[in-house]
Chain A
Amino acid sequence: MTQSPPRSPRDGPIFELRGVSKSFPGVQALSDVSFFLNPGEVHALIGENGAGKSTLIKIMTGIYAPDQGEILLDGQPVQIRNSMEAQTLGIAAIYQEPMVFPDLNVAENIFISHADRGPVVRWGRMYKDAREILDRLDVKLDVRQPARGLTLAAQQAVEIAKAISLDVRVLIMDEPTASLSAHEVAQLFRIVNNLRNQGVAILFIGHRLEEVFQIADRVTVLRDGRWISSAPRADVTTEQVIREMVGRQIDDFFAKTETNRGELLASVRGLTRDGVFSDMNFDVYKGEVLGFAGLVGARRTDVGLALFGINPATSGEIVYEDKSVNIQSPEQAMRLGIAYVTEDRRQLGLVLPMSVVVNVTLPTLPRYLNRLGLVKRSQEAATARTYQEKLSIRTPSLNGEVGKLSGGNQQKVVLSKWLNMEPKLLILDEPTRGIDVRTKAEVHHIINDLAAQGLAIILISSDLPEVLAMSDRVIVMREGRQMGIFPRDEATQETIMTTAMGQVGTANGAGLNGQPATEGGSADSEVPL
């Protein structure tokens, strides 16, 4: 394997985009975006959902062709027609969900894209080479093990190994940390640092600013498909970046009004789902917003899914309206008056090709049937109209496809669908993810109003300011455990984050090397902070 000698950043950019634009029917995904990557540099790309990050990646890897603008590699204009060409040029991408071949083993996953390893697969040599590359990354994996069954972190390591084996010069990492535990993130960063030292240019796309600031050398902000700024890390602050991402001050749209806590609705004691989360203890009161904070991978969603019966708890007790209940299915949860607004609106929340009306009445369909089991369409339409007005859903027609609405309006349809059930306990999982600012504020008002009407609300959100502003109490989770409950006046950004991140070295999840973090403490300390 020939490794290009490390270059100093002063050699000039290795990769550059100039005035790139891309549009899809009805959407201008990117307009006139320019930026460059230096060798041996970690360049962070940040922006809200819909800012154009994924389109940018797809252009860089040849999946999309830009409508306008040019791509330069080593100062020379290039055309990247497909991902194979991107690979030959030394550009590779790894994604949040690693794209491994589950039936092939680790070594083969690393080398499957190589066209230059001879006409015959030499397994012995491949195992040896694979081991060498993994050693270079300081990752311990059995190269003969099939990729099926590897942890997400290990799969990512395999993908990085694959990129390295291809002598990658530009590595794009699309939210690689989204599903990793804190310990795994530390190990990933060790690998990234390693690559940086070898002269690879890394484009790091991330959502968690604290991570971005930890790893990046330069930071570029995108908003609404436009380039906003690029600056060395040392020259920017979190507040500044957030302001640029959202285009406004952060603290001007939360509008929590004080509500009075009502009576007890549910008590959860020792709730556990084996291997996922354990020993959750909390009470839910009517008229109260109970926030769930934590990093991604803290298993907050799994608690919500257990309460809603999708993935039921394996032990523990839920006392609901003074009765002990064992929730095993969504149907059962719904009969108890529990509703769950999913974080994955497009895959789990809405039937995108079907109409607004159909989606709104989906969970409550039995109410709209006559004695023969036929759907009373006028009544359905009336309900949909009510919610259209109440939540001001902007749609040309209630009979149009939900998939054609904007993210914010889609989210309102999901809310309508569950509010129409008249729930007693509403579980909101990332209710404002990927929706525009105006709708976000509207959703916050809705949450407020619902709590004021006496609804019990569980608010799971990765948007910390949102949880803090909206909740009466905040539960902090970390890797499947409840770390503490904070009343509103004690819940500050600092206390929550410290609790959510835990102390360095006590993580108990299996990391890249599979070793408990207590033993891997030295690895953590290698990460420059």
Chain B
Amino acid sequence: MSFLMRRFRPEQLRVLVLVGVLVAILIFFQTQVEGFVSPRTVNRLQTSIAIITVVAVAETLVILTRNIDLSVGSIVGFAAYFVGTQLSRNNDMSPLLIVLMAISVGGVLGAINGVLVSYGRVPSIIVTLGTLAIYRTVLVEFSNAQTVLTSRLPEWLQTLPSINLASVGSFDVRLIFAMALAVVIIFQLALTYLPYGRRLYAVGSNPDAARIAGFPSQRIVFFAFVLCGALSGLAGFMFLGQYGNVTVVAGQGMELQAIAAAVVGGVSILGGTGSAFGALLGAALIGLLEQGLRRMPQIDEFWRYALLGFLILIAVAVDTVVMNRLRAIWARNELQMAAGSDQATEQEKPAHVA
């Protein structure tokens, strides 16, 4: 037991539980919906969660620092619309340029948030509640309420959503999902191995200690917002690729889905814990629930939105109440183990190897 407790800390346990819940949901829907666990579901799931996964990773970066970004939905819409209009006017622009353009537009909007939060010392909830409306307003004005039409986009972008990177049997790996997966892997690695990534955790975990340790907290938080914006810009490009038609309400409400995915995936709203991988799991869980519910004819599709809300609440409640309890148990065990003679630990050693 104590070996297990040493191996799995509450944080890892939480990820395991999440995977367990995912499997349980799969099994549940399999019993309810005929042929639910099928290549088709998996393929659909990929397309449906790709964009939200990227935005959830973006949101994770900010939440880690004990902040929140409610404007990501507006940034996604803004970036999608912006590059969409550019492309409609000039079909010959290179794909790379377009992606970079989307990322920079998002980065600039994120930088505005970042300046106001870090240097203007305005709470992030206020800033991003404001820019949520402001970015949308600018978009509406900028667009004259016109729509980007699929037909005017270049060929390569129109086919983007259906491109498969690889196929194993009838399981496809969609390009758009591969992009999301790449984002998850890159940021998972960055958060684990780059000093900057670790400092995101440090600042969110104990802002006072970060200040006393002399970290440039303001700059760290600022760049978290810039990165969050840039990733949302990338998501905007993916949005354009996936839907083609972009109206001025594109991406509306996405901030809530992204926060839900992050929080369900174990990113603590109080900062300091969570990972990009968790955000992916959270997005997958929500996507799976939505897929399943959509295919259960007896359940009204409007329930999805309500469920999303309750899911966030449950995730946060579990995190604060249950995780605290678990950590207390771990801490007690830690003390007892330390108190036990060294010999006991020695005897357990072979178990480590096995």
Q: Within B316-340, which residues are at the interface with A (CB < 8 Å)? A: 327-328, 330-331, 334-335, 337-339
**Which residues, 74 to 120 on A, are CB-close (under 8 Å) to B?**
82-87, 99-104, 108, 112-113, 115, 117, 119-120
Contact of B213 among A83, A102, A120, A514 (CB under 8 A): A83
Q: Check B349 for interface membership: any CB of A closer than 8 A.
A: no
Cα A486 to Cα B199 with chains together (Å): 53
A104 CA to B215 CA, complexed, in Å: 15
Residue of B nearest to A118 (CB): B195
With contacts A108-B198, A510-B335 known, is A82 near B214, CB below 8 A?
A: yes
Interface residue count for A (Cβ, 8 Å)?
35
B327 touches A149 (CB 8 A): yes
Residues A149 and B339 in contact in the complex (CB < 8 Å), given A101-B201, A112-B199, A142-B334: no
Whole-angstrom CA separation of A404 from B181 in the bound complex: 56
Residue on A with the closest CB to B6? A142
* Residue in A closest to B214 when the chains form the complex, CB atoms: A84
Distance (Å) between the CB of B186 and the closest chain A CB?
14
Tell yes or no: A513 within 8 A of B by CB.
Answer: yes
Q: A87 to B201, alpha carbons, bound, how many Å?
A: 21
Give the complex CA separation of A150 and B215 in angstroms: 23
Of the listed stretches B133-141, B168-176, B204-212, chain A binds B204-212
B54 interface contact, C-beta 8 A: no
Measured CB to CB, the closest approach of chain A to B207, in angstroms, equals 10
**Distance from B113 Cβ to chain A, minimum over Cβ atoms (Å):** 24
Q: Mark B258-280, 1 if CB is under 8 A from A, else 0.
A: 00000000000000110000000
B193: chain A residues at CB < 8 Å are 120-121
Among B194, B210, B211, B327, point to the contact of A120 (Cβ < 8 A): B194
Q: With A and B bound together, what is the CA distance between A101 and B66 in angstroms?
A: 13
Residues of A within 8 A of B210 (CB): 101
Which of B198, B204, B338 contacts A140 (CB under 8 A)? B338
Task: Let me know if A453 is at the binding interface, CB within 8 A.
Answer: no
Asked whether A119 and B194 contact (CB < 8 A) given A82-B214, A513-B338, the answer is yes
B213 A145 Cβ-Cβ under 8 A: no
Q: Does B250 contact A (CB under 8 A)?
A: no
Contact with B along A484-517 (1 / 0, CB 8 A): 0000000000000000000000000010011110
| 16 examples of A-B residue contacts, CB within 8 angstroms | A62-B214, A84-B214, A84-B215, A99-B209, A100-B209, A103-B201, A103-B205, A104-B201, A108-B198, A112-B202, A113-B213, A119-B195, A145-B334, A149-B330, A151-B335, A513-B338
Binding site for A on B (CB under 8 A): 6, 9, 11, 192-195, 198-199, 201-202, 204-206, 208-215, 272-273, 327-328, 330-331, 334-335, 337-339
Closest 6 pairs between A and B when the two form their complex, measured CB to CB: A514-B338, A84-B214, A149-B331, A103-B272, A83-B214, A99-B209
Known pairs A112-B202, A150-B331; list 4 more (Cβ under 8 Å).
A83-B211, A83-B213, A100-B206, A151-B335
